[in-house]
Amino acid sequence: MIIGPPHTRIVLLLGLGPAKEPPWYHPAVYHRAAEGFQADGPSPLALVLHIEEARARDGALPTVEVIGTAEVQARWITSGLLADILAKHELADVVPSFRLAPSGSDPGDAPAFVTLVQPLLRPAPLSEDDPAPTRIVFDITHGFRAQSMLATSAVEATLDEDLRQGRTPILEVVYAAWEARDLRTTRTPVWDLTGLLSQHAWSSAIHGFRAHGRADAFCHLCEALGQRRLGTRHQDLQLRAQRDSLVGLGRAARTLADDLACVRLPALLTRDSAVFLDYLDRAGPLVATEGPAVAGPLADLAAWARTLQADKVVSDAGLQATVQVARLCLETERFAACLAVLREGAVIAATLSQVPPQSRVQPAQPDQTERWKAQVDEAEDWLNEQAHDVPSVDIDPWASLFAAVGDQRNDVLHAGLRSDPAKAASIRKALTKLVNQAATLVRLPVQAPPP
């Protein structure tokens, strides 16, 4: 959550420039096409555009951090050239801070450069007088030699830190594409590279959601992308709808993850998966624009969510989805949850075989609470009778599974405080066998047992 007045921090990599005389870089009229914003005139640096845009967005001037070598400091700062450029555009009140970068002549200069850059990209004040930024623009256009490449390492580390600490990233990485300029007018686009440099963060977030059932990072990335796409164009209804779809996707993912953590089967099967997939259909193409590496993991995520979907819990499709949830709990090593879901799967199976379709009720229906309890009791009684009174050769396979789950469940729920607690490897192996047994009964593929 962003707190405090809007404030932009601009971080600029600066080199010596290719020209043989001031202003060292060829003047151009820079613009951000996606934002619909253009500088008020030609300038050798896109910095002027960034400052003007920040002032328009925030109603206040940004802070500017310039990173360069000692030679850059002499050419641009000590000489007064950068101050003159800003004054020419009526931006004399902006006084950039200069950060001295290593020359790059020593192997240790590479990590030293990343160490210098990364604090400037964090959403925290740099001093007592520096306001906390609500937006950080990192311009890597004019980086000296390897600086722009090394800067991407700082960007990835910053995104990772934001997500680990539960923050929505506010970093934008931009590049002024002189090679894409209009040769007649020198109108030059500024490209937003944030998406491309976020591909690893997206892939990791999707993996964390799929493999560990955690959606926090995915949710924060969706929110950050929504904010970037909308920018200042609040009157654009299409962009607002895109922002809302992205934010909705993140929230739907978090709801699904929360209900998985708490094992809310009715919500998972009949609501959460459908809502998540609906938002994914709308916002997934927007997420895929972040970079080519994101499309594949997104498709896998959609296929995974579809396996958890059913119109009714007490149905053949609901039973199959329940077994998928049990498998997911096993994969994420939520063993107690896995056992709970397997037990309820057996109850659902017994209900399907013992209760006529016209008499069945579904869970979470307020007006059917007593009938639901009676239905569950009837199913559990039948399962227990099968397990204890029927010869083993004739026992219903779901009743056999129900009994085996009970034995494992007692051990896990008592946290190993028994005279003969099972070892973790034994529990994992036993649960894999039980999940595979349930999968076979609902015609799902089985998994190889753990080594």
Find out whether 49 and 31 touch, Cβ atoms under 8 Å. Answer: yes
d(CA 443, CA 438): 9
| Two tokens, residue 347 | 């109850």
| Two tokens, residue 92 | 């004399």
All residues at 6 or more sequence positions from 204 whose CB lies less than 8 Å from its CB, including other chains: 160, 163, 217
d(CA 331, CA 327): 6
- Cα separation values, 346 from 54, 163, 391, 429, Å: 60, 39, 19, 20
Give the number of other Cβ atoms within 10 Å of residue 204's Cβ: 17
Find out whether 413 and 336 touch, Cβ atoms under 8 Å. Answer: yes
Q: How many residues does the chain have?
A: 451
What are the residues facing 139 on neighbouring strands?
12, 174
Buried b (16+ CB within 10 A) or exposed e, 140-166: bbbbbeebbebbeebbeebbeebbeee
d(CA 271, CA 313): 11
- Structure confidence at residue 20 (pLDDT): 87
Find out whether 35 and 232 touch, Cβ atoms under 8 Å. Answer: yes
Instruction: State the amino acid at position 293 in one-letter form.
Output: A
* DSSP annotation of 27: -
How do the pLDDT tens digits run along the chain, 451 residues long?
445 789 999 999 999 988 889 899 999 999 997 777 888 889 999 999 999 999 999 999 999 999 999 999 999 999 999 999 999 999 999 999 999 999 888 889 999 999 999 999 999 999 988 999 999 999 999 988 889 899 999 999 999 999 999 999 999 999 999 999 999 999 999 999 999 999 999 999 999 999 999 999 999 999 999 998 888 787 889 999 999 999 999 999 999 999 999 999 999 999 999 999 999 999 999 999 888 889 999 999 999 999 999 999 999 999 999 999 999 999 999 999 999 999 999 999 999 999 999 889 999 888 888 999 999 999 999 999 987 877 766 789 999 999 999 889 888 988 888 888 889 899 999 999 999 999 999 999 887 776 6
Instruction: State the amino acid at position 361 in one-letter form.
Output: V
- Structure confidence at residue 450 (pLDDT): 67
d(CA 248, CA 130): 33
d(CA 243, CA 230): 6
* DSSP annotation of 11: E
Q: Which of 172, 224, 147 is nearest to 50 (CA)?
A: 172
| Two tokens, residue 85 | 């450029």
- Structure confidence at residue 366 (pLDDT): 80
Give the predicted TM-score (pTM) of the model.
0.89
- Give helix then strand counts, H and E, for the chain: 17, 8
